[in-house]
Amino acid sequence: MANPSCRLLSLGLVPYCQAWHYQRQWVRAKQGDRQREDGLMLLEHPPVYTLGTGSQTKYLKFDPEHPPAELWRTERGGEVTYHCPGQLVGYPILDLNHFQKDLHWYLRQLEEVLIVTLGKLDLPGERIPGLTGVWLGGHKVAAIAIKVSGWITCHGFALNICPDLAGFSQIVPCGISDRPVGSLNQFLPGLTVDVVQPLVIQAFAEVLPVTWLTTGGVPPWLSDDVA
């Protein structure tokens, strides 16, 4: 069987609400037409905190009515996290009918994408049993949280490459208080998103075999109008 087609969008710095809008549009488009291609959006966000559907505000160290940056509650799983420039965010829009209809399997595949990416940099990324994400030298360097509807995925992963980690001090990241957040440039000083993103693209296609469709920008059937 041929690998499913997957449109790759490299979007640069995108406000969280805009990227969330694109995801919801893409999911709706695929629900209406199962032949619509899968996708992977790679981007960075301006500083923003996001909460999952059931996230507990006790993990915020600030008043949610007066956040230090934008604050959004979304439909993904997981607890609170933080996004900012220097963190590469990936939002796969995949029909798991093309792969394996198993949410735990899918989470492990996203972890594997990032572990393979780190391996290409000779960094030993690892899992911690019972916790979702990727660790390096005891530091959590990648967070993963998803939403799946009708076996179509959205949300995804965030890999800390060279961000300012100060924003994480305002939360208990992912509700985990006893393990520090870290970034790749703590282990490889000078590392940038531009260096790592091609490695993520390679690793993604190795772990979740796809045939890439590339585009110069957002396809016309994804509206820029945020509802």
User: Which parts are annotated binding residues?
Assistant: 76-83, 143-145, 156-158
Instruction: Please enumerate, by residue number, every residue annotated as part of a binding site for substrate.
Output: 76-83, 143-145, 156-158
3-class SS string, the chain: CCCCEEEEEEEEECCHHHHHHHHHHHHHHHHHCCCCCEEEEEEECCCEEEECCCCCHHHECCCCCCCCCEEEECCCCCCCEEECCCEEEEEEECEHHHCCCCHHHHHHHHHHHHHHHHHHCCCCCEEECCEEEEEECCEEEEEEEEEEECCEEEEEEEEECCCCHHHHHHECHHHCCCCCECCHHHCCCCCCHHHHHHHHHHHHHHHCCCEEEECCCCCCCCCCCCC
Verify whether residue 174 is a known catalytic residue.
Answer: yes
Question: Which residues belong to the active site?
Answer: 174
